[in-house]
Structure 1
């Protein structure tokens, strides 16, 4: 028998997170974020599929450690927009940037809800929730990322709220 671990099926975690992100966007920038906006979300749990009765875990996507690095670097530079609620148990952080001068604007974000990274399978490594979404403008008052790389501790490359 293979290794056992818990799993949840038939719950659209990414869809639920996307609704939260749209709410945080509205709260921070006083504007609507269309549900159809291009976005990518990395939830704090490993994902996969069942193939021939066996669980096949998905590989960690390249974007996850990149998003974590962007958040940590900009947190260190004090260049993040942030919402804290529920006595600090819910934290949303984000920063805006472009891949080049003519590219669409991207918001890179991190979300922690009651340390939910601890609910994932420990043997697979703790993962935070990170992602991005695209708009055709940077909202008024939004914080734009620093492009100056700085040496930021990043021992936990999958968790934006880790060390």
Structure 2
């Protein structure tokens, strides 16, 4: 797990963006982190316009133009939660995407879920009812730019149970807030 510093205090709830490639568990870990922090959760996939969902369902990776309105919608949600706290999922794979989210909501903190490609592929293959096919995993890893030292956030490995991952994530986020 790596840690970078962030502005904020322990008594001011953070807005956390749970990021990572498809299959890292954003939809599983995000709500658990939100519950542990006592703040609401928003599913990032719900912010996608229908055209994006159709494109991904067809196995076509999104480009930056496709992602812009999605990131802007997530940014508005995060902005509206400033000072109140919240957790939202977003792949936020590129630094530029995270910069766009920070421009909308300057205090956001990133929780980067990381893991071994084989583990993530197995988890993706086992899930049902999701529009993101396993075939797009390589494009996700190719696009991924991990958190940099000047970005507020933590990276947490996704091996283990959801409860173990959540405990590590919440502990790391709480260390950032002091």
Same fold (TM over 0.5): no
Query: Which structure exhibits the higher relative contact order, with contacts defined as CA atoms closer than 8 Å and separated by 6 or more residues?
Result: 2
Which is helix-richer, 1 or 2? 2
Which is strand-richer, 1 or 2? 1
Between structure 1 and structure 2, the one with the greater Rg is 1
TM-score, normalised by the number of residues in structure 2? 0.27
TM-score, normalised by the number of residues in structure 1? 0.29
